[in-house]
Structure 1
Amino acid sequence: MLKNPIRATVVATLAASTMAAAGFAPATAEAPGSLISVQAEAPGFHGLDRGSSVEYWMTDSAGAQRKASGAMFLPAGDAPEGGWPVVAYAHGTSGSGPGCGGQADPELGGLPQYRAAEDRLLKRLVDQGYAVVSPDYLGLGRFDTGPHPYLEVRSEATATIDLVRAARAANPDLSSTWSAIGVSQGGHAAMSAAHVQAEYAPELDFRGVAAIDPASDVEKILPLLGPTTPAIPGMSSATTSFVVSILAGLRATKPELDIDSYLTPRGKEIVDAAGGQCLDEIFVSTKGVTSSQLLARSLAPLRDPLAAYMMLPTSGYDAPILLSMNVTDMVVPSPLHAALVAQLAANGVDQQVVTGNGQHGSASPNQLAAIDAFLARVNATPTQR
């Protein structure tokens, strides 16, 4: 349930007004990727001139149809023959509650300091002639469907792919040719979409994925946590925030795991609240919280469920991957980046790696140029409708 009453009112009002303006009655569940509504936004939406908010149906990890929202951006001018190729942009960690995704409604959500960099990347892609779609993800948009299943591979993938489908239903000038790019959690989401797209959406023509500092191998670390885990100097609040977000999503998705039994009373209060909070609020609620204050027992028994929930696949890709990684990353440390590269290489995955020395999620001019060249290369053959 959304804890912030102001945000709850805004989200509910936006959803109702958007559907009413578009002439839609409340929808019953339809096929994944079905369009609920599309609303052209005023110039300046995410700093772009041709942006729209989109509401659509997506599939959750249990196979149920759920309402979701996102954004769509079009290049200037007329579409080329065959339509604009589509790039799905997957955003980084933003929280667990409605309105936190910041795509359909950029004025909502937390961490606005990252919005400018995100909007610059969106503009860069649009200026290169791509139609760009950007999902809020399940639970982070206009619909209160429960806590966002943070870092859940399946729903991240379906939220992304089903928005591509919905955007094409909204505008026939979008090609069936598409690729994906994501930052941090979004890198995890984009790669998850790349892994399942062939079986989930065979009608689309997927070309490749670029991931900037993707989250990976976290599921191998979490089972090591318990009440006696020492604090990590300078990182305890951020680390605890991510752990809390994962536990809130896992609890909502897999109630049979009895996540509450792993939490202290204070830990349960924090996880309860996190389900309706954006990341800046979760940061505040976890500041100074130690493992002994959060966890009543070791998370070791959750090793297999965590792997099933969030493990990024390292084989089975049928399109090329570009990994843009910062060796000085303190959020997804370089050993985890190196482990991902090594696992993909061992499985013969077609990957290209470009490195930088910036902060987590950043991209230097050289890294951006490599991403530009990668997307141009994979989209070099004619697009399809």
Structure 2
Amino acid sequence: MARLVDESTGGVMLTVSAWRRAGLAFVIAAGVAVGPVGVAQAAAPGGVIAVERADGFRGMGETQIIEYWTRGVGGATQPASGALFLPVGPAPAGGWPVVAWDHGTTGLASGCGGMSTEAGPAWPLTQVQFLHRMVDRGFAVVATDYLGLGRFDTGPHPYLGLDTEATATIDLLRAARSVRSDLSPTWVAAGMSQGGQAALGTGHRQASYAPELDFRGTIAIDPESDVEKVASVLVPGNPDQLGGGILGFSASILAGMRAARPDAQVDSVLSPLGQRIIAEIGTMCQDDIDARVAGLTLGQLLAKPLGAEPFRSAMADYMTVPTSGYNAPILLLVNATDRTVPSPLHAALAAQFTANGVHYTPVVGFGGHCDLNPTMWAAIDEFLDRVHS
């Protein structure tokens, strides 16, 4: 990948070898104080750190990898990375409309995001199909790694932390628009699994965080939701072994909260074994996390019920999907036979949307987690046509 622009950064530890070479940085983001590599100050969220041309990245055609600043944990400005995938040919009048894509669960460590480096985990087939379909239909796609999962080691990824998922998504969009003048201000958020939750958080947050952009709606595919309500009844000694990777996801929530929310006092609800495992998995991608917890139960990791305070309230604030207050339509695609995010949780989310008058369209399939059947694909096409008309 050819580096087009290389800026430096101060106050953070970075893991990209190119950042260690000497020389001056070249500026494309206003407000970045530039000096020798490793000295620059952080710009405002949405400011660009560096851009690389990466055509053909994971088979996606014209691609740019963007390193940028985002509003991170506790409101601090932190570095993140992601990709911009572009359609073939000249942009239409007004620019390419944009889909901001949020990926599913990939782990907790730098390099696990998969959007800015091919060294990350393989892309799920549904994600490959979705991204190609969007680009083929004439949408530019911005795809964030999220905070901590890309090219920068900023500590364990705040897994399912709705706030940083939303800001990482929106700040990449801002950065991409500063890099490319042929992007339209019109955009939608879309994602699957963790990314479905992130897309809903983004769709809710954008009105206050990015009012300058023309947001048109959200596509959420089997989104995580209401797990914090179920978790509150889990107690030490529970003998159930959680299948389908659910224990790995649960441990990742605890690790993400431990890093991002000291007010949650996560260690206070963990057993000595739990404290050791939660500390270890912060440097792992999801396959290794699942392997580390294989054969264990969540009950073995706990010293207190997850309904104990202050953990319970902090967890609800950290990851609860909003069920009111959206100002654009939502396409909710869920599988009734989903075992990763169990279908009762999907039903609960839909019921809360209905009760609160949210403008949403549900489409139900009967595949596995994040599978999309022909009816769902048709609903995606119709939704995009409708919100961009």
Q: SS state of the match for residue 209, structure 1?
A: strand
How far, CA to CA, are the matches of 1:15 and 1:330 in structure 2? 42
Asked if 1:33 corresponds to 2:42, the answer is no
How far, CA to CA, are the matches of 2:381 and 2:292 in structure 1? 39
Map 1:1-40 → 2, pairs under 5 A: 11-13=15-17, 25-26=37-38, 27-40=40-53
Asked if 1:289 corresponds to 2:296, the answer is yes
TM-score (norm 2): 0.90
> What residue is the counterpart of 1:238 in the other structure?
245
Larger relative contact order (CA 8 Å, sep ≥ 6):
1
The structure with the greater share of residues assigned to helix is: 1
Give, in angstroms, the shift of residue 258 of structure 1: 2.3
Asked if 1:98 corresponds to 2:107, the answer is no
Give, in angstroms, the shift of residue 269 of structure 1: 1.5
4+ residue runs over 2 A deviation: 10-17, 19-27, 114-117
Give the counterpart of 1:79 among 88, 91, 105. Answer: 91
> What residue is the counterpart of 2:371 in the other structure?
362
Change (3 A) 1:307 1:292: closer
How far, CA to CA, are the matches of 2:373 and 2:118 in structure 1? 25
Provide Cα deviations, 1:122-176, integer angstroms capped at 9, x if missing partner.
1110000000000000111100111111101110000000000000011110111
Provide Cα deviations, 1:250-292, integer angstroms capped at 9, x if missing partner.
1111223321122122211210111111000100000011234
* Structure 1, 313-322 or 216-225: larger mean CA deviation: 216-225
Map 1:200-211 → 2, pairs under 5 A: 200-211=209-220
Give the counterpart of 1:217 among 226, 230, 233. Answer: 226
Asked if 1:59 corresponds to 2:71, the answer is yes
| Residue identity opposite 1:136 in structure 2 | D
Give, in angstroms, the shift of residue 46 of structure 1: 2.0
How far, CA to CA, are the matches of 1:14 and 1:271 in structure 2? 31
- Unaligned residue ranges in structure 2 (runs of 5+): 1-13, 28-33
How far, CA to CA, are the matches of 1:191 and 1:257 in structure 2? 23
How far, CA to CA, are the matches of 2:246 and 2:222 in structure 1? 16
Give, in angstroms, the shift of residue 87 of structure 1: 0.4
| Residue identity opposite 1:55 in structure 2 | E
* Structure 1, 186-195 or 61-70: larger mean CA deviation: 61-70
Change (3 A) 1:305 1:124: same
Give, in angstroms, the shift of residue 14 of structure 1: 5.9
- State the number of aligned residues: 365
Q: SS state of the match for residue 75, structure 2?
A: coil
> What residue is the counterpart of 1:340 in the other structure?
349
Map 1:111-130 → 2, pairs under 5 A: 112=122, 114-130=123-139
How far, CA to CA, are the matches of 2:291 and 2:24 in structure 1? 36
How far, CA to CA, are the matches of 1:249 and 1:238 in structure 2? 16
Q: What is the percent sequence identity of the aligned residues?
A: 51
Asked if 1:247 corresponds to 2:254, the answer is yes
The answer to whether the Cα contact below 8 Å between 1:184 and 1:361 also exists between their aligned partners in 2 is yes
Change (3 A) 1:20 1:358: farther
> What residue is the counterpart of 1:4 in the other structure?
none
The answer to whether the Cα contact below 8 Å between 2:158 and 2:256 also exists between their aligned partners in 1 is yes
> What residue is the counterpart of 2:358 in the other structure?
349
* Structure 1, 359-368 or 235-244: larger mean CA deviation: 235-244
Change (3 A) 1:211 1:14: farther
Give the counterpart of 1:68 among 74, 80, 84. Answer: 80
The answer to whether the Cα contact below 8 Å between 1:22 and 1:38 also exists between their aligned partners in 2 is no
Map 1:173-192 → 2, pairs under 5 A: 173-192=182-201
Give, in angstroms, the shift of residue 21 of structure 1: 9.2
| Residue identity opposite 1:274 in structure 2 | I
* Structure 1, 89-98 or 60-69: larger mean CA deviation: 60-69
Q: SS state of the match for residue 65, structure 2?
A: strand
How far, CA to CA, are the matches of 2:133 and 2:334 in structure 1? 19
Change (3 A) 1:364 1:36: same
- Unaligned residue ranges in structure 1 (runs of 5+): 1-9, 381-385
The answer to whether the Cα contact below 8 Å between 2:323 and 2:352 also exists between their aligned partners in 1 is yes
> What residue is the counterpart of 1:146 in the other structure?
155
> What residue is the counterpart of 1:88 in the other structure?
100
Q: SS state of the match for residue 224, structure 1?
A: coil
